[in-house]
Structure 1
């Protein structure tokens, strides 16, 4: 079975879905499934075509044409997506993204419709009406999965009915084979690791840390990651 794995970001980016994907895809490959990854080109230093441990990767600037109202750029990216779908001829498209890239999935739907599995990892912090890409994606997917009952409940609210074509599948991650070391509390350290976006709530960690420092003067807070909220977090930290 051939699967086109569509995700907002992929290796070498770091984040929850990125880490999950790097474990999920190899595990499925061992079971005989063939994958290619279609993702956003988040950095010009990353190649458009790449390969990671036998996983073919295609990276495109999905957001640029939309952000700049550049029809020619949109047409160029649509053509590339059409070519990938035609050349790879997947049996299934697994969508793991709610960003602007899914516009090109909707735009490139061919007459020979390929079944779509839509995994909803999170939802945007704004209202969703019938004309949004997310609502259209939810309505058009053959199957929907979430990793929590709460997320499935929210998806049901968006669609406006109790959807039958859905499953709750919890995340499963291999644990690192490292023996846990004894924690040292004389210099406490709080590590926040992940994709630096507003919905992760790293700003709350900074607010909480401001209340901890007067009690533990040697305490440290480390936020490790990258993303669009990085500049605002750095500014917030400087104001402490």
Structure 2
């Protein structure tokens, strides 16, 4: 099968979406399929770089979100490439520029198109003119217009599935959780080297936070909870891996709380280094409620690092035993379970039933993810009918564009 993945975000950009797409590509290729990435240019990638099966289209930084990019041309070029590659199916991973190009390619080639809804944009509206342009109801309008006419939609979680139903998306939706690499070789773990690099020792109690350092991730709540942890375990350290717009504010917060020496800001690291940081931690802590597929959480589980996080429909299905982690109702409740896991390291206490963790590992395995996605593609190819009226499709796409130009339309609250 020849599969085209259309995405505005891909490596070297660091995000959960980019990680999910890379995982999907690798698993599909492992099953013998040909996968082609259609994505944006990136200043970190030379124009002469050799990137097999990756096609980049001219782009500029997104006006309100500078570390993400938007393609501004390339539709006909993408169509020509897709024809030469003889794509069997288009899988869009974005509702924006490359997503629209993917829709154009699929319609012109008369092949099925499926879509993964990665992001709950209601959690990111503050990036767009402080939330004054697009309101939460407008997100539903945009989602409905974009997904209309798709053969099928992939939802990474029950939480996202429920959101799409609230948006009244009429395309069939299937839940396929994103998988992560479960099987790691011993030589991939160099966490012992990180102790020296960070000025720590194997006895240091370590709380880990990994991901984009953005305001919607609620890392400030983790720092507040960690201040309580330090009162009970003074030698504890909070290691924050990642970068983003909230870093300066979080550094100031740690200073104001008098724990700046106990909080280590590592910055952005290479993807292949992330596993070692998970292994470094004794507990992974997050107060984020904006996750739709929780890749950082499940990556932590594969590293045998327990998770302390917020309850959600998605996490409730993953964290089913204390050996995997503990979920809390409010950020104020994070400190107690963090302390428990840190003390368990010191005493050697085994928390929960390790066999429950093994069962979850199968569900989140990238290989399981790949097999489920191929089954979904095959079903899409089976049920696809080229009955899309070109005029109606053009009208729908025009309405989709107008949904951005007129963000205060009344039908946003439909």
Number of residues of Structure 1 aligned to a counterpart in Structure 2: 226
Matched, 1:231 2:245: yes
> Do the aligned partners of 1:191 and 1:223 also contact (CA within 8 Å) in 2?
yes
Is residue 59–residue 72 contact of structure 2 (8 Å, CA) maintained in 1? no
Pairwise mapping of residues 89-238 of structure 1 onto structure 2 (< 5 A)? 89-106=86-103, 110-125=107-122, 127-129=136-138, 132-159=141-168, 165-175=172-182, 176-178=184-186, 187-226=204-243, 230-238=244-252
Deviation at 1:94, TM superposition (A): 1.0
Report the Cα distance in structure 2 between the residues aligned to 1:205 and 1:130, rounded to whole angstroms. Answer: 29
1:38 and 1:170, CA in 2 relative to 1: closer, same or farther beyond 3 A? same
Q: Report which of the two structures shows the higher radius of gyration computed on alpha carbons.
A: 2
- Distance in 1 between residues matched to 2:107 and 2:231, nearest whole Å: 61
Q: 1:24-48 CA deviation, whole Å, 9 max, x = no partner?
A: 222212323111112233x412135
Contact 1:135 1:158 in 2 (8 A): yes
SS in 2 for 1:190: strand
Residue 32 in 1 paired to residue 36 in 2? no
23-32 vs 82-91, which moves further: 82-91
Once the two structures are TM-superposed, the CA of residue 190 in structure 1 deviates from its matched residue by 1.8
The question of whether the paired residues in 1 share the 8 Å contact of 2:89 and 2:106 is answered with no
TM value normalised by structure 2? 0.46
2:397 is aligned to: none
> Cα offset for 1:100?
4.8
Q: Is the 8 A contact 1:36 1:57 kept in 2?
A: yes
Secondary structure class of the residue paired with 2:239 = strand
SS at match of 2:114: strand
- Higher mean alpha-carbon deviation, 124-133 vs 188-197, is at 124-133
Distance 2:21 2:161 in 1: 20
**1:143-192 CA distance string (max 9 Å, x none):** 0111222211111111266x5x221122332212349999x885322222
In structure 2, do the counterparts of structure 1 residues 51 and 221 end up closer, same or farther at CA, with 3 Å as the change threshold?
Answer: farther
Pick closer, same or farther for the CA change 1:166–1:209 going to 2, 3 Å: same
C-alpha distance in 1, partners of 2:174/2:93? 15
- Equivalent in the alignment of 1:2: 2
- Identify if the C-alpha distance between structure 1 residues 120 and 178 changes in structure 2 by more than 3 Å, giving closer, same or farther: farther
For structure 1, the 5+ residue unaligned runs are none
- Greater share of residues in helix: 2
Partner in structure 1 of residue 75 of structure 2: 78
- Please say if residues 117 and 144 of structure 1, whose CA atoms lie closer than 8 Å, have aligned partners that are also in contact: yes
Provide the aligned C-alpha RMSD in A.
Answer: 3.5
1:201 CA displacement: 3.2
Moved more, 148-157 or 190-199: 190-199
Unmatched runs of 5 consecutive residues or more in structure 2: 65-69, 126-135, 193-200, 255-414
Asked if 2 retains the 8 angstrom alpha-carbon contact of 1:138 and 1:159, the reply is no
TM-score w.r.t. the length of structure 1 is 0.74
Cα distance in 1 for partners of 2:234, 2:38 equals 46
Answer yes or no: is 1:57 the counterpart of 2:54: yes
SS of alignment partner, residue 27 of structure 1: helix
